[in-house]
Amino acid sequence: MSPRITGVVKHLLIINVLMFIVSNVFTANGVFDANTMLALHYPSSEFFKPYQLVTHFFMHGDFMHILFNMFALVMFGGALEAIWGEKKFLFFYFFCAIGAVGLTFTINHFEFAHAMSMYSPEQIELVVREGQDAIAKNRNFTDPDLAALNIKYYMQQHGRMVGASGAIFGLLLAFAMKFPNTELMLLFFPVPIKAKYFVPVLMFFELQMGMADMAGDNVAHFAHLGGALFGFLLLLYWRKYDTGFRKN
């Protein structure tokens, strides 16, 4: 199947590329900090703004990030837009992007609440008040897990999400459901793999990486899974009511 740059895909591609260029140029020249203003922060953060729920999935961390996402958008999005029409495709894209946020925030909330429940109010107050400085001074951080709590608290206040990956994973799952026998060729594994086999393996890998929560891994694996999950649920709804697989 040859990739198609359809109407909505083309506009999404243009917006993402323009946002990437403008945000990097403006940030580099001190006009404004795009990562603070447009990336998505956790609701508990002082930097959170409601509009970030939309702006963040037009932002990307670096060139390779946007390259892979836009490549996938063209490869899988055009085929889906062709069978669904513009309105349904755009709704699906946004629905998956918001679903990625929903799952990520939900899991983060429970992880942080669990971490907070393990320590005394005095220890938590120390983390909130002094954070990284407390670690540097080794004050009451004899338990290495308390340092982990500090990292989680720091991420709650200063962590941010960028990228269209949640929406892209939703498109990938939808493509596998609609074109299950289409063979995909991956750069790192140059052997044709049918979409119906590739996608479950990829989702399992993302789940394992998300649960591992390895230090230094700044990929939002649960955002990927959230986009795919919400996309799957929407596809089931459309299939039941026979609305999502008809063109406008």
The model's pLDDT over 98-110, given as tens digits with 9 standing for 90+, comes to 999 999 888 888 8
In a domain, 247, yes or no: no
Domain containing 170 — which CATH number? 1.20.1540.10
Q: Which domain holds residue 78?
A: 7-241
Separation of alpha carbons 174 and 168, rounded Å: 10
CB of 130 within 8 A of CB of 152?
Answer: no
Domain assignment present for 193: yes
Q: Which of 111, 126, 113, 118 is nearest to 145 (CA)?
A: 118
Q: Is the pLDDT of residue 174 over 90?
A: yes
Q: What is the pTM of this model?
A: 0.83
Question: Do 176 and 169 touch, CB atoms closer than 8 A?
Answer: no
Q: Residue length, the chain?
A: 248
Residue 191 lies in a domain: yes
CA distances from 18 to 22, 25, 56, 58, 162 (A): 6, 11, 14, 9, 15
Non-local CB neighbours of 16 within 8 Å, separated by 6+ positions: 58, 60, 66, 69, 70, 73, 164
Q: Which residue has the tokens 């891994």?
A: 217
Question: Which tokens hold the place of 233?
Answer: 């649920």
User: What's the whole-number average pLDDT of the chain?
Assistant: 82
Cα-flanking dihedrals φ and ψ of residue 82, to 5°?
-65, -35
Q: With respect to residue 2, please indicate whether it lies within any of the assigned structural domains.
A: no
Q: Is 151 exposed, middle or buried (0-12, 13-18, 19+ CB in 10 A)?
A: middle
Q: Is residue 19 part of a domain?
A: yes
Whether 137 is covered by a domain: the verdict is yes
Q: What is the pLDDT of residue 187?
A: 57
Q: Binning pLDDT at 50, 70 and 90, where does residue 185 land? A: confident
Is the pLDDT at 43 greater than 60? The verdict is: yes
In a domain, 86, yes or no: yes
- Cα 5 to its chain centre, rounded Å, is 23
Q: What's the total number of domains in the chain?
A: 1
In a domain, 246, yes or no: no
CA distance 100 to 89: 17
Environment class of residue 10 by beta-carbon count within 10 Å: exposed (0-12), middle (13-18) or buried (19+)?
middle
Residue 215 pLDDT: 56
Give the pLDDT mean for 28-42: 84
Helix extents (H) in 56-194: 63-72, 78-84, 86-117, 121-130, 132-137, 144-158, 165-178
